[in-house]
Chain A
Amino acid sequence: MHEKSVATVESALKEYYFNRFDLIHVPTRPTQREFGYQKFNSGMTRHIAIKTDKELHLLLMKEIPSDVYCSNAYYSFPNLPMSEKDWKGADLIFDIDAKDLTLSCRKDHSIFKCVSCQAVTKQHLPKCVKCGSTRFESTSVTCKNCINESKKEVRKLIDILNHDLGIKNEEIEVYFSGNEGFHIRVTNQDYEQLDSQERADLADYIMFNGVMPETFGIRKQNTSKLDLSIEEGGWRGRIARNLFSSKIKTSQTVKQIMVNGYSAFQLKLDEMRHIMGVRVDPKVTMDIHRIFRLEGSINSKSGLSKIQCNNLDSFDPFLQACLLGDDEVQIICNCPLPITLKNKKYGPYDNETVTLPKFVAVYMICKGLGTAV
């Protein structure tokens, strides 16, 4: 990022961190957590111990980091190197990101920027029309559909956490990630001690990965004993309700499964996995040493805040997580698509100098679509 752009964004971040101390707190058990941060055009600084809100605020004002992180893990010595930290446990976390949902809308709000000449296009072309380079960076801008589809995944996840895993709503915290998805943190202590492999199996359960036809009574040698009831809980109940959506269809479905055989049923289960499995990022859930974006901090991919969603249905990230100031800033903007922030449409802009509210200017710069003048 250009020096002037860094200065513009850092000034907006400093103002935010100064004015919104109320939103940025250390999480529970802060003395056992590892903190980390990144600055623009610089690497990650990790293994930091922060005990209080005051210490955190001091760091934010002093360093003005582009991104701030905190471990989901608890350690005896969070500031020592990883091998000496003495891992005590970790919150169970989930990451749902719109970019992983293979949504058809993605092509409508993706922008490709040539790495050589910075030219932007809405289509993914094999070569840059201006300079012929084949290297592009892609970015995507505000899309309500992406948020709505991500919310659907969050609801599916909460249903499984509640009904299958016995985790109460009070033990589930949902956050907007600050860009295109949601972070979910489970505070149930039973799950804290699970190791990486155990969390990977839990993620597979949530994603409905690795399921065998035998689990539902369908064997290679005998496909006539489908053992399912819509009365059941867990995946068995969900699959039964999907297969037997009406009584008339029940006998037909059973007959069809019997006739089509084992492999066809496996394919059917795979189809259901795509529709019904929750699209969490398993790498995040199984990582027991991850430093995860700190709630209340700004995400430098967008300039939006990672904030808790108390009412998921009505939550609008492009309004509620758009918390930077609105003083006017002049930037050169090259954004071929319109974006919507705080219910107002901005753009498209064709490499032009524009005066925009700070929160829009920072959004454009963070997305690589704007440069400070």
Chain B
Amino acid sequence: MHDDDTLQIQMAKYPFLTETGKYLKDKSLTLEELNNPDWKPVIEKAYHRITATIAGKIYNSNLDQPDIEILSFIIAIILLKKSGIPTFSRRFSLQEARRAENYLKRDLEWKGDGSIVEHVKRKGQSQQLALDILRNEFKLDVVMAEDSFKVRVTDYLKRGAHFHEREWKLVNRKVEQGLVFLSSDETVRLIRKELDELIGSKIQSINIESIPDTFQERVRDIKTLASNTLEIVTFSGEYPPCVKHGIEVLERGENLSHSGRFLLATYLLARGQTVDQIVPLFKNAPDYNERITRYQLEHISGSLGKGTKYQCPSCDKLRSENLCFAIPDCDGIINPIQFGKKRKTNA
């Protein structure tokens, strides 16, 4: 395999890299040319790429056709930008991030066949590229060890300390000489959020004035899909600002943190809403899955599991999680649940 081919395949795996722009420039392909019916299959692929992610699936790449892979990604982000549906853009960046995550994992622990010389060379190339992406795009220096990967304690804490699972606590990691030992899966998991944000920023930053007719048709389809599947959820009543913030984040189709979702669920349950009433609120979340949402809400409400009904977190707890957006009306309350009641007393 030639180095050029290798580079193309790498770009097909990671089309969000800055190198992709240079590649397109070298090809001197213009948007007008893409209006040619010959390119229709690539536009279809781009559309398929979007619909797969809307359905919550990871798009399956075909690395035998790297050119089409790279172009379909670029066209997909143009279509999304022109459609202007934030929820779909979020879902796309999330699932594309998962897709790239899978490639990064594989590249980090490259296991191939062929002659030993070829194997060593390909493994070296593939690992080097993955390490370069982690270093250049995410400022994560990874040192290869015999059977693990090592990252600096501070780089680890900046990410791992914000994960909720206990296994990510530093005390549950092997730590030596300022380095944390990780598997390839764990190393890549560390940058999941940043990968998602990087792809999201590509959609945000792309600036195309007019698009070919062949694109227009698919933009219309995406808009129709949005009006058929996304629900505008409106809730009546005065909510405290922290709850309002959570609802707004979800309405914009942005990702709300685990703690933010927990706040919404416990607050609304405490205000007497049912699981059925709350589920649609999460419909615009980029990683929405009705079955999982329902399961989690039922757990929080106490109707599943050990029957523990979880309480709405206190204002103190929310402040420590940067989820407090206090306004003067919040004075004197220690839990969001008291928001309305306190106000009545004051009135």
Binary per-residue interface labels of chain A (198-237) against chain B in the complex, 1 for a CB within 8 Å, 0 otherwise: 1011101100111110110000000000000000111110
Q: Which of B152, B157, B166, B167 contacts A202 (CB 8 A)?
A: B157
Residues of chain A contacted by B153 (CB below 8 angstroms): 164-166, 190, 202
Within 8 A of B (CB), among A165-207: 165-167, 190-191, 193-194, 196-198, 200-202, 204-205
With known contacts A198-B161, A235-B171, A210–B166 Cβ distance under 8 A: yes
With known contacts A165-B178, A167-B178, A234-B176, A209–B154 Cβ distance under 8 A: no
Residues of chain A contacted by B169 (CB below 8 angstroms): 201, 204-205, 210-211
CB atoms of A194 and B178 under 8 A apart: no
A163 interface residue (CB < 8 Å to B): yes
B306 interface residue (CB < 8 Å to A): no
CB atoms of A214 and B167 under 8 A apart: yes
Residues of chain A contacted by B341 (CB below 8 angstroms): none
Within 8 A of A (CB), among B163-184: 166-167, 169-179
Residues of chain A contacted by B170 (CB below 8 angstroms): 201-202, 204-205
Residues of chain A contacted by B15 (CB below 8 angstroms): none
CB atoms of B178 and A208 under 8 A apart: no
Residues of chain B contacted by A191 (CB below 8 angstroms): 154
CB atoms of B174 and A232 under 8 A apart: yes
Complex CA–CA separation, A211 to B167 (angstroms): 8
Min CB–CB distance A287 → chain B (angstroms): 12
B160 interface residue (CB < 8 Å to A): yes
Complex CA–CA separation, A208 to B153 (angstroms): 16
Residues of chain A contacted by B152 (CB below 8 angstroms): 190
Binary per-residue interface labels of chain B (136-176) against chain A in the complex, 1 for a CB within 8 Å, 0 otherwise: 00000000000000001110011011100011011111111
With known contacts A191-B154, A194-B154, A212–B172 Cβ distance under 8 A: yes
Complex CA–CA separation, A211 to B173 (angstroms): 9
Number of A-B contacts (CB under 8 A): 79
CB atoms of B175 and A205 under 8 A apart: yes
Between B152, B160, B169, the greatest number of chain A beta carbons within 10 A of the residue's beta carbon is seen for: B169
Q: Which of B157, B161, B174, B178 contacts A166 (CB 8 A)?
A: B178
Within 8 A of B (CB), among A227-279: 232-236
Complex CA–CA separation, A191 to B152 (angstroms): 11
Residues of chain B contacted by A190 (CB below 8 angstroms): 152-154, 178
Residues of chain B contacted by A201 (CB below 8 angstroms): 157, 160-161, 169-170
Min CB–CB distance B170 → chain A (angstroms): 4
Complex CA–CA separation, A201 to B162 (angstroms): 9
Residues of chain B contacted by A209 (CB below 8 angstroms): 171
Complex CA–CA separation, A208 to B230 (angstroms): 47
Min CB–CB distance A355 → chain B (angstroms): 51
Binary per-residue interface labels of chain B (308-327) against chain A in the complex, 1 for a CB within 8 Å, 0 otherwise: 00000000000010000000
Min CB–CB distance A281 → chain B (angstroms): 17
Closest chain A residue, CB of each to CB of B155 = A190
CB atoms of A164 and B175 under 8 A apart: yes
CB atoms of B174 and A198 under 8 A apart: no
Complex CA–CA separation, A233 to B176 (angstroms): 6
Residues of chain A contacted by B154 (CB below 8 angstroms): 190-191, 193-194
CB atoms of B161 and A233 under 8 A apart: no
Complex CA–CA separation, A14 to B250 (angstroms): 60
Closest chain B residue, CB of each to CB of A192 = B154
Q: Which of B167, B174, B320 contacts A234 (CB 8 A)?
A: B174
CB atoms of A210 and B177 under 8 A apart: no
Closest chain B residue, CB of each to CB of A206 = B171
Residues of chain B contacted by A163 (CB below 8 angstroms): 176-177
With known contacts A194-B157, A198-B157, A212–B177 Cβ distance under 8 A: no
Q: A205-B171, A211-B169 are in contact. List 11 more A-B contacts (CB 8 A).
A: A164-B177, A166-B153, A166-B178, A201-B161, A205-B170, A210-B171, A210-B172, A212-B166, A215-B171, A232-B174, A234-B175
Q: Which 5 A-B pairs have the closest CB atoms?
A: A166-B178, A233-B176, A201-B161, A198-B157, A205-B170
